[in-house]
Amino acid sequence: MAFWFVVKKVVGEADVVVFVVDARMPELSKNKEVEELLEKNSKEVVVVLNKIDLVPVEKQDDIRRQYPHAFLVAATQNVGIADLRKELHIIGKRMKKKTTKVGIVGYPNVGKSALINALAHRKRAVMSPIAGTTKGIQFIRAGSLKILDSPGVIDMDDPELKLGVIGAKNPEDLKNPELVAAQIIEHIWEKDKSVLEKYAGSPLEGEDSDEILLNLGLKKGYLVKGGKVDERRTSLQLIRDWHKGKLKI
């Protein structure tokens, strides 16, 4: 809960708050407690859908239609950053601020640090695929913007399944990675099963996500003694590759 103190401080001090979510699953990766905190503080909020580079080009227009007021960016590729930076400057001028304090909030692993580095034109914030890397407030100067980074915090009532899928919890810390992997498989399979088959290197067989997971482990050669599939190893690797963007939908 100490992290919440830091997040509340960032929101309280910020002139404008950038709320970062994962473009692949915007609604799932919205932190509801952070949303409530922003509403309570009546802050001006800019919603950023990060990792748009992990969404197929043909599906990006659908996201733009669904979230017309959000900024679609790929922080690690510097895509969409100029427009976001311009908007923050406009907000600062409207508020008549010489230095605009910009708070960055969101779940762990949605790319907050990468976004800050892109806004600042240089690597200043710590970047890592490990959830929870940022431990306290970091102040990063970017011209007339003063960016306040915050640690990613998790809702107290968020189920582990959701946290595993959106990358807010590290795979190794999951109690049931097989369940999370099955959910990821279902998510991808519904949208484009060819993504999973390309990942496997050949067509996949199975009536449900559990069977597909076993078939995937077999094709990847993740076996234990007796030739049985190592479900945990298969699940953990699938989750890691999903978090790192090696599986794109």
pTM of the full predicted structure? 0.71
Per-residue model confidence (pLDDT) at position 154: 59
Per-residue model confidence (pLDDT) at position 133: 42
CA dist 197 and 107 (Å) reads: 30
- How confident is the model over 194-218, as a mean pLDDT? 88
Domain ranges of the chain: 2-149, 170-243
| Average pLDDT value for the chain | 85
Same fold, 2-149 and 170-243: no
Per-residue model confidence (pLDDT) at position 159: 75
Architecture label for domain 170-243? Orthogonal Bundle (1.10)
Domain 2-149 -> CATH class: alpha beta
Whether the pLDDT of residue 150 is over 80: the answer is: no
Residues in contact with 147: Cβ distance below 8 Å, sequence separation at least 6, in sequence order: 102, 104, 116, 119, 120, 139, 140, 141
Q: First-to-last CA distance in the chain? A: 34
pLDDT tens digits for 57-101? 888 999 999 999 999 999 999 999 999 999 999 999 999 999 999
- Give Cα 147 distance to the centre of its chain: 19
Q: Which residue has better confidence, 191 or 230? A: 230
- The values of phi and psi at residue 18, to 5°, are -95, 115
